[in-house]
Amino acid sequence: MATIVVKQIGSPIRRPAKQRETLKGLGLNKMHRTRELEDTPSVRGMVNSIPHLVAIVEEKA
C-alpha cells in the first residue's frame, strides 16, 4: 500500500472553520508535525484543498 508523509507548514489561526477541520481530519494540529497517511483519493483531496497549510514531504510506494 502506498503512503504519503504530510507536514503542517501553516497555522490554522484566522482560517475558516472548514480548513481547521480538514487539518484535524488529517491528524494535524500543531506546526511542523508530520503524519504518514494512506495515499487514497480522499486524503489527496484533503491535502489539495489546503495547500497553503500542508506540504507533501515524501511519497512511499
Where do the structural domains in the chain lie, given as residue ranges? 3-60
CATH class of 3-60: alpha beta
Is the separation of the CB atoms in 56 and 2 below 8 Å? no
Low-confidence ranges of the chain (pLDDT < 70): none
φ/ψ of residue 42, rounded to 5: -70, -40
* pLDDT for 61: 87
pTM: 0.92
Helix 41-49 to helix 17-25 angle, to the nearest 10 degrees? 140
* pLDDT for 34: 98
CA distance 23 to 19: 6
Q: What does the block give as the cell for 61?
A: 510506494
Is the separation of the CB atoms in 13 and 54 below 8 Å? no
